[in-house]
Amino acid sequence: MLTRLDKLIAASGRFSRSEAREAIRAGRVTADGAVLTRPEEKVDEGALIAVDGDALRTDALRCFMLDKPAGILTAARDARQPTVLDLVPEEYRRLGLQPVGRLDKDTTGLLLLTNDGALAHRVISPKSGVVKTYLATTDGDTDGSDAAAFAAGLTLADGTRCLSAALEPLGGGQCLVRVQEGKYHQVKRMLAARGRRVLELRRLAIGALELDPALGPGKMRELSSNEIELIFALSHSL
């Protein structure tokens, strides 16, 4: 499919449409190695576009993983507190990224950011049964009876019934928790139903997609198409 060159460059999120036109007219843009100087020129969407020799991603729909730090809201904007979108590097600010689901303000770890509404809906839809894995640090050890209660499907303090989940005691006040739904404060409330208070909570994985340990708090990177498919690899497996 052919698309205007300036539109393709703007789709990378690194340039506005006017900045793209300026770069093209200045001879700074190549498509498959050929210098192009007309912003309106139509090029194949699969062409390798580079500005100043730096190759661009020009597909419009993108997905990233973020290592969310504590103290940051999972929201698009807030007048008084920092949000996860404040962590997005300047080069990606024009992509229109939004968080997929939410992590509590004090919860850390894997959070997806995307501008693909269909993908976001698929991830958070209860019908998808996407499994999320958390490392919980609690005020005491969990045991086999807690694991059995999670597997059977807990009833929370307010009467809410949870689907089957998995709990793996690790000792030292830590456990792995895997859930296949996204109720409000679910992991904390499930552990509270077993008499345990959560001191720290970190999301390690969504489906078979694990948080990249090389990222570090507040850092993000783009996902490949294969990594995106990993999100759904363990659906309905609990």
The catalytic site residues sit at: 104
Q: What is the rounded distance in angstroms from the CA atom of residue 220 to the CA atom of residue 111?
A: 9
Burial class (CB in 10 A: 0-12, 13-18, 19+), 129: middle
* CB contact at 8 A, 202 and 103: no
